Chains A and B, each alone.
Chain A
């Protein structure tokens, strides 16, 4: 079952109509699909192609460009350890070695129980707080080996379920635009006039 569920199809349509062209919704829809299934399947790409009006090959073409989309199952928790310069200067390599030992897998690997995937990541925009890591794209900063041990134990014991939703979920809040407030998106060829407020007068 990797086509979008009925609830998610509704959400998908809400997202699609926000854009002047449906294909623009592709990346948000791929995220929605990954949220539902944990990774991106062939069937899912087929379905998303139907929804935005492109072939599944085009969907794969886009999806395969982006690092966050996974085409095989990954652990419930994806641990990305930053290894770019600021973090490397502050001990990121040592942290990675420690994580590999603690989890018993190499960077890129998933633990046999399917709970953790460990990965090397690039700069996470938290460079002053090095070394950094993300669990499902949520931060831990200035991480020591002891912090990492505790984090992994707590994740395994389910103590951090509130903070870290399973892999695939990004924002826990969705944009909602009330129909009475929305301007609505139009295809660019359907707009030929200058915006109403450019009449040389104040808008208020």
Chain B
């Protein structure tokens, strides 16, 4: 049975295992009182009663995948820090801003103590001596909820000096951003936390685990990733890996938005739930609105190449979605029905990434802007055939070589697998191209219909004498 709650707008509960959303049913889920009454800080106690390295081993063997976008296992990430270099830091990425993505904000607003407990477990296991919890600037309520929880937890002895009377001591500092999508990239997040413009750093040498905040080893983890840890420590590795598949254990939060009957945020079983389940399943989005047909969907946030009905039966499993030509990204499915104006839809995303380019890499700064301007002119009916070609050429400057796309039976296309090559430091540049490329590859006829036949007058022609005017295709 699906259930929704006024106090958690968007969230839809179902008869499925709940690892991170177990308290969402309670209106007061963000209070310390409710948290303690529902197994709160039990995972921390369990962790502290064993040596730190064992907890790290638990997280490794549970294969807790990063939920921010890249899907890298957290336990492995923690193990990449160089031996005997101190201090090490934890930076929590709560800068959720990938188009289509809505889950970290829910987790921060609805269950801030769970996130805090996750941070504490991570610091204990990986020997991190200070934690910075970076929340997106435009989330006033999430900031209020998390800061209130931090204040409560400090007073109650869960954060700070000698936590629960033990030798484990760590501060968690609330930090908040000021509006810049690129700061969600981990090295840009670190720059921003150092008080600078949030521009990504080159990797190598700036792999955060080795050379991060203030040049020290730094672990950057996503909110949802950390929110998994209290349950894992309370219930154990076996219970965790019993859910989902071997390569994608546990659950994950997925937001389905756009033209579906019931848009919502669902905690789904990892690895087995398919896109068809999500878009058409009665316990999920219940199909396309007004009984319309599905045209396309973005499977993993605005940066991801698009899928069509041919890919509906793929499960939420990176090892299958990658070869099929896209990525799972941040758990965001955006659905377009048959009424969608495809070039205009692609433009909203390309505009987004062009606008959010930090300007550090030329192909992204210039290329993103070009893509947006050309696409806008096509959408507004002033484009030419040459513009369509130019879109692909500009794209190839950002991502040389074959760009990933899905197979399509009707069009006779076979899949080009993920990932792509890129000439930029981070994914903002390629992300400006992804929607253009997908839309043009899968729906070229819509662009062609948009490109008006225009009369162009050769520059040599004298005004009024259009004898040499030719019609461009």
Q: Which residues of A contact B (CB under 8 A)?
A: 18-21, 23-28, 30-31, 52, 54, 61-63, 65-69, 80, 83-86, 88-90, 121-130, 134, 136-139, 141, 169-178, 180-186, 188, 191-204
The reply to whether A191 and B87 contact each other, CB–CB distance below 8 Å, is: yes
Q: How far is the CB of A62 from chain B (nearest CB, A)?
A: 6
B101 contacts A125, C-beta separation under 8 Å: yes
The reply to whether A123 and B352 form a contact with Cβ atoms under 8 Å apart is: yes
Given contact pairs A181-B155, A188-B215, A195-B129, A202 touches B179 in the complex (Cβ within 8 A)? no
Residues of B with Cβ closer than 8 Å to A?
A: 9-10, 45, 48-53, 84, 86-87, 96-102, 104-105, 124, 127-130, 136-141, 143-144, 147-148, 150-151, 154-155, 157, 159-161, 163-171, 173-181, 192-199, 214-216, 255-259, 263-265, 298, 302, 332, 334, 336, 340, 344-345, 348-349, 352, 355-356, 358
Distance in angstroms between the alpha carbons of A25 and B137 in the assembled complex: 14
Query: Can you name 22 A-B pairs with beta carbons within 8 Å?
Result: A18-B171, A24-B193, A69-B179, A80-B138, A89-B336, A122-B97, A127-B102, A127-B334, A128-B257, A169-B140, A171-B176, A172-B144, A175-B173, A183-B129, A183-B160, A183-B171, A188-B87, A191-B129, A193-B86, A195-B128, A197-B169, A203-B167
* Docked-complex contact B96 and A125, CB < 8 angstroms: yes
Report which of B99, B147, B163 forms a contact with A85, defined as CB distance below 8 A: B99
Q: Which of A124, A176, A195 has the most CB of B within 10 A?
A: A195
Contact B355 A181 (CB under 8 A): no
Decide: A125 and B155 in contact? CB cutoff 8 A. Answer: no
B202 to chain A, nearest CB (A): 18
Q: Which residues of A contact B256 (CB under 8 A)?
A: 128
- Residues of chain A within 8 A (CB-CB) of B86 are 191-195
Tell me the smallest distance from the CB of B142 to a CB of chain A, in Å.
9
Q: Which residue of B lies closest to A164 (CB)?
A: B140
Contact B171 A65 (CB under 8 A): no
Are B169's CB and A84's CB within 8 A? no
Separation in Å of the A65 CB from the closest CB of chain B?
Answer: 4
Interface centre among B84, B193, B348 (most CB of A within 10 A): B348
Say whether B176 contacts A31, CB under 8 Å: yes
The total number of A-B Cβ pairs within 8 Å is: 258
A21 in contact with B99 given A27-B176, A125-B139, A204-B48 (CB within 8 Å) = no
A6 to chain B, nearest CB (A): 23
Q: Which residue of B is nearest A130, CB measured?
A: B257
Q: Given contact pairs A21-B214, A122-B99, A123-B352, enumerate 17 new A-B contacts (beta carbons under 8 Å).
A: A21-B194, A27-B176, A27-B192, A61-B196, A63-B178, A65-B199, A66-B177, A68-B178, A86-B257, A125-B102, A170-B143, A172-B140, A174-B147, A175-B150, A181-B160, A185-B130, A194-B127
Other-chain contact of A127, B130, B138, B257 (Cβ < 8 Å)? B257
Structural contact, A84 and B352, CB atoms closer than 8 A: yes
Is B263's CB under 8 angstroms from A129's CB?
yes
B160 adjacent to A182 (CB under 8 Å): yes
Q: A141 to B141, alpha carbons, bound, how many Å? A: 14
In the complex, chain A residues whose CB is within 8 Å of the CB of B177: 27, 66
Chain A residues with Cβ below 8 Å from B141 are 138-139
